[in-house]
Amino acid sequence: MNAVTRWKTIATIALAFSAGNLFATACQNAGSGKANAEDGTTEDGGDGSTPPPEVSAADLAELAEALVATEADVANIKCVLRLLETAGHSSVGYTTEDDFQEANNSCGL
């Protein structure tokens, strides 16, 4: 596995993890209407439907802030990948540690 492929793999895993965290944060209270095994009713009133979770403006603001931070991370990772792909086509023929450091510094990582 060459360096560019390794960085792409790391970026993909980071994106999937961030997206999973955002999804989990947004849906953390969605399963609150659990069934009661004794009488067959649910905690929400017995009709089997679960009301949507209450979402405050602060929750939405926090989620929006996390999304902006994730988008910024993605932009920085894309920047690094573009620079590493260019560095991989250099006269040396491979990406060096200096190329990684230069790419990270150039992209704000």
- Tell me which residue of 73, 109, 106, 108 sits closest to 87, measured CA to CA: 106
Show Cβ contacts of residue 19 under 8 Å, excluding neighbours closer than 6 positions.
Answer: 70
Q: What is the pTM of this model?
A: 0.45
Contact (Cβ atoms closer than 8 angstroms) between residue 67 and residue 85: no
pLDDT of residue 21: 75
Q: Please report which confidence band the pLDDT of residue 36 belongs to, taking 50, 70 and 90 as the band edges.
A: very low
Domain count, the chain: 1
Domain around 78: 3-106
pLDDT digits 0-9 by tens, 46-89: 566 777 778 788 888 888 889 998 998 899 889 888 888 877 66
Measured between alpha carbons, how far is 102 from 41 in angstroms, rounded to an integer? 61
Measured between alpha carbons, how far is 71 from 5 in angstroms, rounded to an integer? 21
- Bridge partners of 11, per DSSP, are none
